[in-house]
A and B are shown apart, each in its own frame.
Chain A
Amino acid sequence: MISNRRFLHRFFIRLGLATFTLLALGPVLWGVVTSLFPLTSLTSRPPDLNPVNITIENYILVLDTSRGLFSGLINSFIIAFFTSAIGLVVGSMAAYSLARLNMPGRNKILMMILATQMFPGIVIIIPLFLVMSRLNLVDTHFGLIMVYLSFILPIVIWILKGFFEGVPMELERAAAVDGATPLQTFRFIVLPISLPPLFATGVFAFIESWNEFFFAIILTRIDVKTAPIAIAEFSGQYTTLYGQMLASAVLASIPVVVLAIIFRKFILEGFVEGAIKA
């Protein structure tokens, strides 16, 4: 009876997970398939998905440096890299002090940081565009990095603050008794055990800015077009180059997928396990 129930229980959990996986992966799979066929096969009715037609032509075409995708990938990389790097350095320091220092107005600061997240991008985009254009920051790497930081930083701060609060105070006290200066405590104790969450948060920030579309399409024109914009441009007024568009999408997702796999590994690791016997 009990084992029967357990079996059913597991069955439904797995059914749910399978459905979710299918829903999530279906479009990706379809995208990969689409990217491997020439336009003519895709636009014929019904689509002609005969494996003999499989080609990597789309990939060759989109990787041509004269097309937008290549520079889009480079722009995306520069922006995502600096956004996550600056976000981590500034965010970890802010998070550590918010977690550890007993400063006045601490909770107000935290609420204000969170409050900035309550406005949808669409609300601020017009004034933001005006400000950026007055500052000559439209279509610059720096401008977009600043904008991305404005929504990445609060998330980084909140995630890391939660983590730092979980670092047992005793570890720092033990280090102090062992003779470590505050700087040595940070370097030898706090930093090493914080590497996994720092890395995970960095990857998260990277993926967020890599995928960002809305601000990018409004605040870039030619020079700083990011990959998502370059992909969208395959859809023109008269034709949509489905094969090339999806080939670009597949290429643009590779770095994110790789990072997500690493991210998962770090998230699953019990990084402070064994520090404290609870």
Chain B
Amino acid sequence: MATLELIHVVKKFGDFTAINDISLRVEEGEFVTLLGPSGCGKSTLLNMISGLEDVTAGEIRMNGKVVNQLGPYERDVAMVFQNYALYPHMTVEENIGFSMKLRKRSKNEISSHVLNVANMLELEHLLHRLPRELSGGQQQRVAIGRAVIREPSIFLFDEPFSNLDAALRVKTRGEIKELHQRLGVTSIFVTHDQEEALSLSDNIAVVRAGKLEQHGTPEEIYSRPASKYVARFIGSPQMDIFNGSFGVTDGRLNYQIGEVGVPLPANFIPPTHPVDMGVRPEYVLLGTTGFPASVRLVQPVGPFTYVTVEWQGGSVTARVNGVSHLKVKETLRVEFNPEGLIFFDRETEERSDL
């Protein structure tokens, strides 16, 4: 187990700056997700931590020791690749045992270790198969086994679920989380899937165009996004963000969206600069109080139904428990729970009510 620190890390490919001054601290045993869209630099960052890419500037420390100059193996990290990268000519047993073979461990030692790992990952019956004879999920477990047998200080996962179908993805997600709980090894997980990030991580680092946009617990990232970018990236369906303005109706401060003024809490102090207002579906209440709107779209997803309503100049999506019997074009009343209102500086796109 190890702590990991990135200190003002920079990576350039020629003129292109892939990682632009990222600092991040990962505690011992922590599970951290690097989250961002493809091309944001999160995989590059992971490769730099692994030692597969060198560092242009800044420092990477493991357990306080600078590892910039160390190769992947000397860093004592193990990595699970996006496409698994199983050695195609080796059996499952040989794939998992390869790192021990390189360390010239005895055959008995290797096979007993491999067997332990295989038991843990339910791979015992597949030990003599070649990777091409395995299903996607099995290949994935072999890739994890190859990392586990190393007993590394840090696990690195590079989008390990992107090749699995939806059901298997959720199952494997649970397995990885359990594995982390059991082994307690510091883990860095790269994904573009916000749901994976939220469900797995102790902390999430949102990366945007080579910069760290926000670093915090899943709860913080979800409820208190530091910027419009994070707010949009986390949560499905997306947070609705309105380009409105403050106004006063009947002596009460509100936020004007099209024809409608959304009432604000009595103690609210409006900022002096223009702001956009965001709200997540669970803070939008449909019923008999509030302003009138009509139903545009009804999307049931099982435990919830997402209902999109519209009014002159605006629309918002609400989350309704269970099955909704609302019909399209039906009119109803909408209320925003003031606790869920979030404001962003229109200019900087950063959160402005912190």
Chain A residues with CB under 8 Å of B79's CB are 173-174, 177
**Which B56-89 residues sit within 8 Å CB-CB of chain A?**
71-73, 77-79, 81-89
**Which B99-149 residues sit within 8 Å CB-CB of chain A?**
99, 102-103, 130-134, 136, 139, 146
* Given contact pairs A174-B85, A177-B78, A193-B89, A274 touches B99 in the complex (Cβ within 8 A): no
Instruction: Tell me which of A189, A270, A278 contacts B83 (CB under 8 A).
Output: A278
Q: Are B73 and A276 in contact (CB under 8 A)?
A: no
Does any Cβ of A come within 8 Å of B163's Cβ?
yes
CA distance A275 to B130 in the complex (A): 9
CA distance A168 to B130 in the complex (A): 17
Q: Are A176 and B72 in contact (CB under 8 A)?
A: yes
Q: Are A274 and B102 in contact (CB under 8 A)?
A: no
Interface 0/1 of A170-192, CB less than 8 Å to B: 11011111111000100011001
A-B interface contact total, Cβ < 8 Å: 86
Interface 0/1 of A85-114, CB less than 8 Å to B: 000000000000000000000000000000
Q: Are A276 and B98 in contact (CB under 8 A)?
A: no
> B103 — nearest CB in chain A belongs to which residue?
A179
> B76 — nearest CB in chain A belongs to which residue?
A179
Q: B176 to nearest A CB, angstroms?
A: 17
Q: Are A276 and B84 in contact (CB under 8 A)?
A: yes
Q: B187 to nearest A CB, angstroms?
A: 15
> A194 — nearest CB in chain B belongs to which residue?
B89
Q: Are A274 and B133 in contact (CB under 8 A)?
A: yes
Does any Cβ of B come within 8 Å of A277's Cβ?
yes
Q: Are A274 and B103 in contact (CB under 8 A)?
A: no
Q: Are B89 and A174 in contact (CB under 8 A)?
A: no
Instruction: Tell me which of B73, B82, B88 contacts A178 (CB under 8 A).
Output: B73
> How many residues of A are counted as interface, with CB atoms below 8 angstroms from the partner's CB atoms?
25
Does any Cβ of A come within 8 Å of B50's Cβ?
yes
Q: Are A171 and B85 in contact (CB under 8 A)?
A: yes
Interface 0/1 of B190-217, CB less than 8 Å to A: 0000000000000000000000000000
**Which A203-258 residues sit within 8 Å CB-CB of chain B?**
none
Does any Cβ of B come within 8 Å of A272's Cβ?
yes
CA distance A26 to B89 in the complex (A): 41
Q: Are B88 and A272 in contact (CB under 8 A)?
A: yes
Chain B residues with CB under 8 Å of A179's CB are 72-73, 99, 102-103
Q: Are B85 and A180 in contact (CB under 8 A)?
A: no
Chain B residues with CB under 8 Å of A170's CB are 81-83, 85
Does any Cβ of B come within 8 Å of A64's Cβ?
no
Q: Are B102 and A178 in contact (CB under 8 A)?
A: yes
Does any Cβ of A come within 8 Å of B52's Cβ?
yes
* Given contact pairs A178-B73, A272-B88, A277 touches B83 in the complex (Cβ within 8 A): yes
Q: Are B73 and A176 in contact (CB under 8 A)?
A: yes
Q: Are A275 and B86 in contact (CB under 8 A)?
A: yes
CA distance A273 to B139 in the complex (A): 13
Q: Are B131 and A275 in contact (CB under 8 A)?
A: yes
Q: Are B98 and A188 in contact (CB under 8 A)?
A: yes
CA distance A41 to B70 in the complex (A): 80
CA distance A171 to B95 in the complex (A): 11
**Which B279-307 residues sit within 8 Å CB-CB of chain A?**
none
Chain A residues with CB under 8 Å of B99's CB are 178-179
> B132 — nearest CB in chain A belongs to which residue?
A274
Chain B residues with CB under 8 Å of A275's CB are 85-88, 131-132
CA distance A277 to B141 in the complex (A): 13
> A167 — nearest CB in chain B belongs to which residue?
B88
Q: A177 to nearest B CB, angstroms?
A: 5
Q: Are A174 and B81 in contact (CB under 8 A)?
A: yes
Chain A residues with CB under 8 Å of B84's CB are 276-277
**Which A120-156 residues sit within 8 Å CB-CB of chain B?**
none
Interface 0/1 of B149-164, CB less than 8 Å to A: 0100000000000010
CA distance A274 to B134 in the complex (A): 8
Q: Are A277 and B88 in contact (CB under 8 A)?
A: no
CA distance A178 to B131 in the complex (A): 17
Q: A193 to nearest B CB, angstroms?
A: 5
Instruction: Tell me which of B52, B132, B136 contacts A177 (CB under 8 A).
Output: B52
Q: Are B77 and A177 in contact (CB under 8 A)?
A: yes
Q: Are B52 and A276 in contact (CB under 8 A)?
A: no
Q: Are B85 and A176 in contact (CB under 8 A)?
A: no
Q: A175 to nearest B CB, angstroms?
A: 8
Instruction: Tell me which of A176, A178, A277 contacts B136 (CB under 8 A).
Output: A277
Q: Are B86 and A178 in contact (CB under 8 A)?
A: no
Instruction: Tell me which of A184, A188, A274, A278 contacts B130 (CB under 8 A).
Output: A274
**Interfacial residues, chain A to chain B (CB-CB below 8 A):** 168, 170-171, 173-180, 184, 188-189, 192-193, 270-278
Identify 21 residue pairs between A and B in the complex whose beta-carbon atoms are under 8 Å apart, listed by A's number.
A168-B85, A170-B81, A171-B85, A171-B87, A173-B81, A174-B81, A175-B98, A177-B77, A177-B78, A177-B79, A178-B73, A179-B99, A179-B103, A180-B98, A188-B98, A270-B132, A274-B130, A274-B134, A276-B83, A276-B85, A277-B83
**Can you name 4 extra interface pairs (CB under 8 A) apart from A274-B132, A276-B83?**
A171-B88, A177-B78, A275-B88, A278-B83
